[in-house]
Amino acid sequence: MIDLSASAPLMIVSFSLDPSKQADFDRFYHHQFLPKLLSISPEIKNIARYQADSPATDNAVAGQYLTIYELANSEALKQADKIFERTGFAEELVQFRQWKESALTNFSRTNYQPIYEHERRVYNGHFGRCPMLFFSSEIKVQDADAFRQWYQLSYLPRLMADVPTLSGCRRYAVCSNAGVEAASDKTNKEKSVQYITVMESVDELTLSHSIERMAVPHRSIENEGMQKWLDSAVSFTATNTFRPIFCLPE
C-alpha cells in the first residue's frame, strides 16, 4: 500500500458554462483569475482544468467543467476557504462573481483528502494533462468501512491488473465529519459519505480502450460484486470522462 502522507488534498470547483460566453470567460479564467490566484497562494501546488466529454445527466457528474486545485498539504485545507479573500485578489474575485451570476450554473466547491492510491502512477504527476474517468459516489455511513475494504483491497487492484492501459488510480473522501443527504433521493434521510475515484490514461483513445476493458467477460464476478454494493450500500453515483483543457504551472 502506498504511503499517502505526500499525496495532495484537493479543492475541486465544478460548474457548467453558457457556451455563448465560453471564449470570453476562458480568456479571463485562464489568463487572469487562475494565474493570479496561484501566484498569491502558497497553499496551491498546481491547478488543472477539465471539460466533460458528455453533458451532465442523472448518471454523470454534475457540472460541465472541473477546476482541480492540488493543495500543498493537509494544513492547507484549513486555509482553503480564505484563499479567495486574499489582499490583492479583490478585482479578480469581483469579476468572477459577475461571471458566476451571468454565465455559470451548477456551481460547487468541495475539499477532498486522499485515501487510496495505486502503485502505478501517471508519469508526469497527478492530474498531469491526462484525460480521466471521474467517478463520484455517496456511501451509506454504516457500510462505508466494509465497502472501502472490498473496493480498495480487492476491486481496484484487480481492475488495475486487468486494465494495464490505466496510468493511475486514486480515491478521495470529502473533508467533512458530517454525512450528507443522498443526492439521488432528497427525501432519504440516511446519512452518507462522499467519495471520488479518479482513473487516468495517457490519451483519450487509451482511456476509451481502458473503459471497454473494464467490462471484459472474465471481470464478471468483480462487476457483479460492484452491482450488489450499488444496490445495497451506495446511495448515489455519477460518472463522466473529462479531458484536460488548461494547466498551471505552465
Residue 234, all three cell numbers: 451506495
Q: Which helix (H) or strand (E) holds 154?
A: none
Residue 3 falls inside a structural domain: no
Q: Is the pLDDT of residue 3 over 80?
A: no
Measured CA distances, 61 to 44, 108, 238 (Å):
24, 12, 5
Report whether pLDDT(184) > 80: no
pLDDT tens, residue by residue, 196-227: 999 999 999 999 999 999 999 999 999 999 99
**185-223 burial, b for 16+ CB within 10 Å, e for fewer?**
eeeeeebbbbbbbbbbbbeeebbbebbeebeeeebeebe
Is 158 among the domain residues? Answer: yes
Evaluate whether residue 1 is within a structural domain: no
Domain assignment present for 109: yes
Task: Quote the pLDDT of residue 190.
Answer: 61
Is 80 in contact with 11 (CB distance < 8 Å)? yes
Output DSSP code: residue 127. Answer: T
Among candidate residues 75, 83, 74, the one with its CA nearest the CA of residue 13: 83
Whether the predicted pLDDT of 183 surpasses 90: no
CA–CA dist 18, 21 (Å, integer): 6
Please report whether residue 219 resides in a domain: yes
Question: Kind of pairing, strands 191-200 and 104-117?
Answer: unpaired
The CATH number of the domain holding residue 92 is 3.30.70.100
pLDDT-based confidence at 85, cuts 50/70/90? Answer: confident
Is pLDDT larger for residue 90 or for residue 7?
A: 90
Contacts of 126 (CB under 8 A, 6+ apart): 7, 8, 70, 168, 170
Neighbour count for residue 90 (Cβ, 10 Å): 11
Domain that residue 33 falls in: 10-248
C-alpha gyration radius of the chain = 18
- Structural domains counted in the chain: 1
User: For the chain, how far is it from start to end, CA to CA, in angstroms?
Assistant: 32
Q: Is 173 helix (H, G, I), strand (E, B) or coil?
A: strand
What is the model's pLDDT at position 118? 94
Name the pLDDT band for 100 (thresholds 50, 70, 90). Answer: very high
Peptide bond into 249 cis (omega under 30): yes
Answer yes or no: is 4 within a domain: no
- Assess whether pLDDT exceeds 50 at residue 145: yes
pLDDT of residue 228: 96
Q: What is the reported pLDDT for 60?
A: 55
Looking at the DSSP bridge assignments, the partners of residue 242 are 52, 132
